[in-house]
Chains A and B, each alone.
Chain A
C-alpha cells in the first residue's frame, strides 16, 4: 500500500509570492491534516480536512488555506509569503476524521524556503 506522498519536496520562493503544496493520502484515508515545523518549534497544527470539508483549524493567519478534493487529495496554499513561513510542512492522513484515537500516517514533508 503506497504511503502518503507530498509534492514538491523542496521549494524556494520569495517574499510576497504564494505557494501551493500537495498531499496525496493513503488509499482509503479520508482525513488529511497539515502541520508546520519551524526550527526550534514543535509541529504546529494547521488544519484538517475530511470529506472535502475543513473540520478543524489551528492558530494560523488567513494567509494559510487549504482544500480537499473528492479523491481525498489535499492542497495547502500560503499567500503573501513571509520569511517566517520558511518551514517543513507535513501532511498526515488517517481513515477517520482527526486521528483522536486513530493512527496518523505522515508524508515526507515539503521544505519551503522563503527568501
Chain B
C-alpha cells in the first residue's frame, strides 16, 4: 500500500485570506495526481488532474502545482470564501493503475 500524505490535516482561515496545502506521494512510477473537493453531504468533485512535472493548473481562485521528481503537489486558494469550506483530497495514480487517496485537508473559512 502506497502512502499519500496531506498536510495540514485541518485548517481554519479568515475570509479573504489565501491559503495552501500539500500532498506528498511516492515519486517512483508516477502517472497522475488528482485533486478533489468534498463538501459535507455532497459527492467529491474533481478539481484538477495533473500529469507533467512542473504542471500548474488554475480554476478561478484555486490553483495547483506539481513536482513529480520530489513527489509533492500544492493546492492554493486565493482570497478564501466561506463556500470554499470543504475537505480537499488528493489522489495519486501510478503505472500500476490504482488510485491512492490521501486523508484530506479540512478547510474552514470563517466569515
Contact = CB atoms under 8 A, between A and B. Distances in A.
Interface residue SS majority, chain A: loop
B67 interface: no
Centre residue among B31, B91, B102 by max chain A CB count within 10 A = B91
A45 B100 contact: yes
A59 interface: yes
Contact of A42 (B45, B97, B104): B104
Interface residue SS majority, chain B: strand
Interface residues of A, number: 28
Contacts of A44: 101
Nearest to B48: A103
Interface in A77-102: 90, 92, 98-102
A56 interface: yes
Contacts of A3: 43
Interface of B: 1, 4, 31-32, 34, 36, 42-46, 49, 51, 89, 91, 93, 97-104
